Amino acid sequence: MSKDELVERYLEGQMSRRAFLRRLVASGVSIGAAVAYADVLRAVPAAAAGGDFYILVADYSFTPALAKLAAPGRQVQWHNSSLATHNHTATDTTGMKYFDSGPMTQGSDFFKRFIAAGTYTYICSELSHPTFPMTGTIKVPMKVDPASGPVGTVFTIRWASRDAPSNYVYDVQRKRPSDASFSDWKIGATAKEATFSPNRAGRFAFRARLRKTSNGETSGYSKPKTIDVT
């Protein structure tokens, strides 16, 4: 069972605290870090359904390694619970240099708000543990409103929580019911959303990413978001 699955079962009450701690320790998390993480999860659930997402930084892992945010605009908090002398980092690997915590001392936190749909990979760039690489991923979804409707419905397709900041744009692709793959729809967009009024029935899918204009580097695309047109 993965750490993400452990967290989900613990938060849903399907696993006791003792079993949760035992599994975390067996996966390589120190007992001190495991206890701290169990306490934090109960106080600030990592499911992030209504707000921020908490990631525990330990020796030598990010927990959860895969963070699925509820919507663009959510803030992620990394907390370094290392019991050793490691000043871990959370450093973007997309090429955009979108975020970098720098060395985090024990007990310190780093915050980053993810405004745009996409997939963001990162690592710990500290050089003292090359045989124990630390990697993580942040996934930010698109939002649609409504999720379904008849032909002629005006759908709002949202890929960001705000218009693009300086030096960034949004790329949005669309897949129509008859398409075998995605094609460009809104490329280099600066607005956070657009409306879409289909003239035929079927399932339409959309995905988006953030792009840095100065070097052309991008996040990965978000998980496709669909609308059903009847």
In a domain, 4, yes or no: no
**Which is more confident, 23 or 104?**
104
**Which is more confident, 139 or 131?**
139
Min mean pLDDT across 15-24, 41-50, 189-198 is at 41-50
Strands 135-140 vs 66-68: parallel, antiparallel or unpaired? parallel
Specify the CATH number for the domain of residue 80: 2.60.40.420
Residues 6 or more apart in contact with residue 200 via CB below 8 angstroms: 151, 177, 229
Residues 118 and 187 in one domain: no
pLDDT at 8: 66
User: Which residue intervals of the chain are DSSP H helices?
Assistant: 3-11, 17-26, 31-43
pLDDT at 2: 60
Write the Ramachandran bin of 3: left for phi over 0, alpha for psi from -120 to 50, otherwise beta. alpha
Residues 158 and 110 in one domain: no
CA pair distance 157, 229, nearest whole angstrom: 14
Residues 45 and 75 in one domain: yes
- State whether residue 80 is helix, strand or coil: strand
CA pair distance 75, 166, nearest whole angstrom: 20
Q: The whole model's pTM is what?
A: 0.79
- State whether residue 125 is helix, strand or coil: coil
- Any idea what DSSP says for residue 83? S
Residues 115 and 161 in one domain: no
If one counts the domains in the chain, the total is 2
- Residue range 210-229: mean pLDDT, rounded: 98
**Which is more confident, 38 or 228?**
228
Q: pLDDT-based confidence at 48, cuts 50/70/90?
A: very low
Pair 29, 60: CB distance under 8 Å:
no
In a domain, 16, yes or no: no
Identify residue 213 by its one-letter amino acid code.
T
Specify the CATH number for the domain of residue 176: 2.60.40.10
pLDDT at 4: 60
Min mean pLDDT across 57-61, 139-143, 198-202, 218-222 is at 57-61
Task: Indicate if the pLDDT at residue 23 is higher than 80.
Answer: no
Task: Indicate if the pLDDT at residue 51 is higher than 50.
Answer: no
Residues 47 and 136 in one domain: yes
Average pLDDT along the chain: 86
Other Cβ atoms less than 10 A from the Cβ of 21: the count is: 18
Task: Indicate if the pLDDT at residue 221 is higher than 80.
Answer: yes
Range with top average pLDDT, 18-27, 106-115, 170-179: 170-179
Residues 190 and 214 in one domain: yes
Residues 130 and 168 in one domain: no
Residues 6 or more apart in contact with residue 104 via CB below 8 angstroms: 57, 78, 80, 87, 88, 89, 90, 110
201-230 CB burial, b ≥16 within 10 A, e <16: eeebbbbbbbbbeeeeebbebbebbebebe
Task: Indicate if the pLDDT at residue 210 is higher than 90.
Answer: yes
**Which is more confident, 210 or 32?**
210
Residues 110 and 170 in one domain: no
Residues 45 and 67 in one domain: yes
* CA 220 vs CA 31, 88, 125, 166, 202: distances in Å: 34, 24, 20, 20, 26
- Residue range 189-210: mean pLDDT, rounded: 97
Give backbone dihedrals phi and psi of 226, rounded to 5 degrees, phi first: -115, 155
Residues 101 and 191 in one domain: no
pLDDT digit string (tens) for 86-107?
A: 789 999 999 999 999 999 988 8
pLDDT at 46: 46
Residues 123 and 162 in one domain: no
- Residue range 6-13: mean pLDDT, rounded: 67
Task: Indicate if the pLDDT at residue 77 is higher than 80.
Answer: yes
Residues 111 and 182 in one domain: no
Q: 54: domain range?
A: 41-140
In a domain, 121, yes or no: yes
- State whether residue 152 is helix, strand or coil: coil
